[in-house]
Structure 1
Amino acid sequence: MSEQAALFEPQFLKQLDRLALLTRRNIAGQMQGERRSPRRGSSVEYADFKPYTPGDDFRQIDWNLYARLEKFFLKLFVAEEEITLHLLIDTSASMDWGEPNKLRYAAQAAGALGYIALASLDRAQVTSFGGGNEQRIPAGRGRAGVPPLFNLLNRLKGNGNTSLLQASRRYIQTARVAGPLLLCSDLLTPDWEEALRTLGRRPFEITVLHVLSPDELNPPFEGDLKLLDVEGGESLDVSADLDLLQRYVERLQAWREEVEHFCTTRGINYIFVDTSLPLESLLVSVLRERQIVR
């Protein structure tokens, strides 16, 4: 079975072919693609004019403007260039949990956006971090970049704990160009605020996909339990009665609202997703409504 088939059904890929990434900013890329850029180039859309100076290309002279003003002006066009989509995936042990599995859901969401970018001749690169093990594939371009992207995403496994802050610091130091950035994480780390501040130091257009499972939102537990920290913390003995579960749900909701407020006040797209939401609904409804894709 191919990596594409393992990650997505062929019919789903056909749906992705009809989508495109949206960006709020004009971002200068590295090569010509299908994205508007602040640079001047030779596309079909006028951007501006400038007076002719010796050495300029005569082919860019606007002869209609010369007929009116009897002066030479060059036509400047909006260049259409690629962007680089940055995909960051939390692979700490807490992500490899729940039904549907959070890590698998994050990998598919990242894979879908990566496929959309590559199919549009943009670039996509993915970095996973967790348990001290960071994996990365460099930015691929075009459909040739799809197999390595899907291959890495299919091999992701949750392991140990992670410092989202340290991973973010490394990333802003090594990323060659800015662009849209998708962070897929459950944010179950005490340094999530500083990590997002760190990513914001580069001109990324950040989207946080906050991934939690249905069992985390409404735990189906009751009675006396021992809760184990999958990332190596202390265990906790609890008695799961209705009052405790209600207080848990309220505190979880308050935390989610805190994260959303933190993001929105800093221009970060915050998207909470319950992994029971079908991936198709996330792509064609939620992300389209939030103007991540069109």
Structure 2
Amino acid sequence: MITPEFLPALDRFNLVVRKKVTSSFIGSKQSTQPGRGSTLRDHRPYSEGDDFRMIDWKVYARTDHLYIKRFEEERSMTVHIIVDKSESMNFGSRVTKFDYGSMIGVGFAYLAMRDNEKFRFSTFSDDLEIFQLRRGMAHLALMIDHLNKAKTKGGSNFLECMRKYKKTIRSRSMIVVISDFLVDYQQIEEGLSLFQNHDLKVIQVLDPQEKALALEGDLKLKDLETKQEIQTFITPSNRQQYIGKLEEHIGKIQKLCMKLDADYNLVLTDKPVFESFFDILRSVKR
């Protein structure tokens, strides 16, 4: 549940991270033509055929050489936030992975809103639910209300959902994918690779209990997605095997993100969400 106090807390958080996130949401393109939001970047020597209107006559007066002004024009970055709401995201010893991941997603949407960028929330499980692409606080409030009412359900059809989402993207964008990524690695590899040409942020959300498997002895375990229950006995050796397999899975996702030049962050739900969000922003590639 995203409480009413969360947005004021984001306002305060924004004061701390303002300088760290600006370059994540605003790109730049070089041009010799001034335009909306453009600033003078530097000069280059005049060449035959260049627009005479772009000559910097003040520089000519000082140097007796012709130079062309070069501008840097701000451009917007559409932000897409895709949150996993499969049944496994309903697990949580303190807060569910879905609620925790949703709060991080709202943090990204807030930063987009602050810079007057368009943003869109979508959720996926066995199917994809896509919402409108808009700007502003009213849209953010609507998305928070939807996330608070959303129910986790079903399994994760990760690859098919990413394929469907890719078809909705019209220009280079920031793509934030938030999930526990407890699905077959092949799906993850193919699904994330679809966004290779975008600014991709991969946020893996896990509960500390499932990461460390702090369980031993005779237990009844339930698969949240299939609802299947099994009676089992977990030995210290079983626990170490589980941890080893999970660490291997996490390592493969990390290596994939390096290959895709994507930002990867593993967050645990026992850590205050603003600390995790700050760490995510601090790790953003420049």
* Bucket of the pairwise TM-score, normalised by the shorter protein: 0.7 to 0.9
Q: Could you say what secondary structure the match of 2:132 adopts?
A: strand
Which residue does 1:287 correspond to in 2? 280
Q: Which runs of 5+ in 1 are unaligned?
A: 25-33
In the alignment, is the contact (CA less than 8 A) between 1:23 and 1:180 conserved in 2?
Answer: no
State the one-letter code of the partner of 2:122: T
Q: Cα offset for 1:129?
A: 0.8
**With structure 2 as the length reference, what TM-score do the two structures score?**
0.84
In the alignment, is the contact (CA less than 8 A) between 1:169 and 1:199 conserved in 2?
Answer: no
1:249 correspondence with 2:243: yes
**With structure 1 as the length reference, what TM-score do the two structures score?**
0.81
Q: Cα offset for 1:219?
A: 2.9
Q: Cα offset for 1:139?
A: 2.5
Q: Deviations over 1:44-94 (max 9, x none)?
A: 33255566869x684x541124434475x6523101121111111111111
Which of 186, 192, 195 is the aligned partner of 2:188? 192
The residue correspondences of 1:1-294 to structure 2 (distance < 5 A) are: 5-6=3-4, 8=6, 10-20=8-18, 21=21, 35-40=26-31, 41-42=34-35, 43-49=38-44, 58=53, 60-67=54-61, 68-69=63-64, 74-99=68-93, 100-132=95-127, 134-190=128-184, 191-200=187-196, 203-232=197-226, 234-284=228-278, 286-291=279-284
Percentage identity across paired residues of the two chains: 23
Distance in 1 of aligned mates of 2:148 and 2:171: 26
More helix as a share of residues = 2
Q: Could you say what secondary structure the match of 2:108 adopts?
A: helix
Q: Could you say what secondary structure the match of 1:238 adopts?
A: strand
Distance 1:256 1:70, change over 3 A: closer
Q: Could you say what secondary structure the match of 2:232 adopts?
A: strand
State the one-letter code of the partner of 2:283: R
Number of positions where the alignment pairs a residue of Structure 1 with one of Structure 2: 275
Q: Cα offset for 1:282?
A: 1.2
Q: Could you say what secondary structure the match of 1:140 adopts?
A: coil
Q: CA RMSD in A?
A: 2.8
Q: Cα offset for 1:234?
A: 4.9
Distance in 2 of aligned mates of 1:173 and 1:157: 25
Q: Cα offset for 1:206?
A: 1.1
State the one-letter code of the partner of 1:231: E
Distance in 2 of aligned mates of 1:194 and 1:7: 38
Distance in 2 of aligned mates of 1:37 and 1:163: 36
In the alignment, is the contact (CA less than 8 A) between 1:118 and 1:140 conserved in 2?
Answer: no
In the alignment, is the contact (CA less than 8 A) between 1:111 and 1:153 conserved in 2?
Answer: no
Q: Cα offset for 1:243?
A: 2.3
Q: Cα offset for 1:198?
A: 2.2
Q: Could you say what secondary structure the match of 1:158 adopts?
A: coil
Q: Cα offset for 1:118?
A: 0.9
Q: Name the stretch that deviates more: 92-101 or 43-52.
A: 43-52
Q: Could you say what secondary structure the match of 1:141 adopts?
A: coil
Q: Cα offset for 1:192?
A: 1.4
Q: Which runs of 5+ in 2 are unaligned?
A: none
State the one-letter code of the partner of 1:129: F
Distance 1:290 1:76, change over 3 A: same
